[in-house]
Amino acid sequence: MIKVKIGVEPAVAEYIRGKFYNEEAGAVKFPSSLDIYVLIYDLLQRRPVSHPVDTGNLEFALPERRAGKNPESYNYLSERSQKLLNDKMKLMMWAELHDMMDENKHLRGIEFKETIYTFMLRYGIESISEDALFKNYQRWRYKTRRKAKRAYNRRKK
C-alpha cells in the first residue's frame, strides 16, 4: 500500500483523520464508493525527479484499482491537485456539519452549540474553535437562505 502526504488546513486534516483513519493501513483510507476516491485516482501523476519526498499534515493510502494507474509509479499529487483535494475535503466537512446542525436543531431540538461540540468530539477537531464553526454556519445560512422581500403592490381597478 502506497501512502502520500499532502498539506491541508489543520481542522480539515483532523476531520478527515477522525472520519476515515484506518488502523490496518496506518493512514487515512477512503472507501471506493466516495467521489474523493475517484478524484484522487484521476489526479495521480508520475512522480517528477525533482519531487522525491512528500510533505504535509495528512497522510492517506492511494487508491488501488485492478486496471489502470499503478500506485507504485503514479504516486504524485501536484500543488494544483493538492488544492483541489483540500477544497473537496473542506466542502465535505462543512456540508456534514451544516447538515448535522440543521437536522439536530429542527428534528431533534438540540441546540447548535451542543451539536458543534458533538461534531468536534466525534472527529477529534481541536485546531478550530466552536465559535468559528458556528460563525461559518451562520454565514452559510445567511447566504443560502436569504429571501428577497416580496413587493406587495395593489392592483389598480
pLDDT tens-place values along the chain, 157 residues long: 888 899 999 999 999 999 999 998 888 999 989 999 999 999 989 988 887 788 888 988 888 777 778 777 888 889 999 999 999 999 999 999 999 999 999 999 999 999 999 999 999 999 999 999 999 999 999 988 777 776 777 777 6
Measure the CA–CA gap between 128 and 12, rounded to whole angstroms.
Answer: 10
**What Rg, from alpha-carbon coordinates, does the chain have?**
20
In sequence order, what are the residues at sequence separation of 6 or more whose Cβ sits closer than 8 angstroms to the Cβ of residue 5? 54, 55, 56, 57, 58, 59
DSSP string, the chain: --EEEE---HHHHHHHHHHHEETTTTEE---TTSHHHHHHHHH-EEPPTT--S---SEEEEPP--SSS--TTTEEE--HHHHHHHHHHHHHHHHHHHHHHHHHIIIII---HHHHHHHHHHHHT--SS-HHHHHHHHHHHHHHHH--PPPP-PPPP-
pLDDT at 95: 96
pLDDT at 51: 79
pTM summary value: 0.84
